[in-house]
Structure 1
């Protein structure tokens, strides 16, 4: 893994950085990190041939004796009820595998762990009774801080990551943020949909934009939520022809909401999963 490879979604980006640090110099600190984090659960782990992978749908090695789903979020005991009934398309954030173990990681830097997502992840492992271990980002910070580091480069990388961890708690969803929205990142260089309209204009329009080319898909939508439902259905029906990574209901869509006559800086980018808007 390359530490400096940018991952488009903020959560994916921080996951990639952490896993790149753990992979540094032939996975130098994975063993002490996991021992500090998992404590007694790590006693029987054989760390020979340990490696890590990010964003892989299926386990990158054969079933092993010890397998866990590990969830890390700002707060413990904070599972939310999923808005989606089917999370079968969900892709784990990361895997760490060793001689006799497979660990599936799901990270959240805001909000809560999703019950449906975790349940879907459990099905990716060989045991029907796979145990879920839940930790928070302070546990990650403590685990990193306890590692004795003699490599100055690695020490700098670890310390830099520790310094950003406190910001994850402040990223919890605010009361004014729709629960379906997962981030607000400018994605004008990727496929996106522009939703134009206001309560005063009554009708909203939906345009598909890619590589600077815009195609109007609908000009008679009655609101932003209806526009997103339309977009979700459009993507589900046409994903084979769209430049996106389609992963079922977990597919992430970018939209840009425009209110005519309003200052451009007040228009907003949004990211959401199509399953949150499919009937």
Structure 2
């Protein structure tokens, strides 16, 4: 991976992490188009730069995250993230195995897009307009919805937002809680990927994520650059998405997923 490739992947991550279109699918496709070899470092890099994107949420909503008088906010996130932590740990190897299956990921893009075409009609008359009105029970239910995104191509953002709307949250409140929930979820994923997970178990030289990063100065540079760019781009995307969601709903994102998913299916089926 060279510097330009890392920058492009970070831009893609920042743009798509909080949109209901699957950052995993878009980064995988971008890497494929650039002819990048699917190395263990590349896979770890794609996961770890999500840390930069989630820091953008903390920056955008810093008053919420540093309001220590509102302890219920932290309780809700703590309980809501438990399902993803448990299931993610149990099915980590199976999830990683699917990451290289572009046909499966492209199919999920299409199927998820079809769902998004109808979401606006399924959940009408919301009653929860703010995170403060959300109960811990409903937060946990949204946390289980988030687990649907363990199938690459589904979109963590889409799954958790739909989960929020199923619990009577408005589109805006559901999107914002999805952002909040991403922070502990993706922070845990990053810590696990960089410090706990052993990459390349079947190779002659398995390594922890931080060992790959520290292996040479180029890897350190790419890791830092990737997170910084993902942070900047995600900060812009977060605010833009809320505005677009309020104005147009989910249907444009659904059609986007269907069109891109079909294009990817054709590409990976006949040209790769």
- For normalisation by structure 1, the TM-score amounts to 0.30
1 or 2 for the larger relative contact order (CA 8 Å, sep ≥6)? Answer: 2
Greater Rg by CA: 1
Q: Which is richer in helix?
A: 2
Q: Which is richer in strand?
A: 1
- For normalisation by structure 2, the TM-score amounts to 0.30
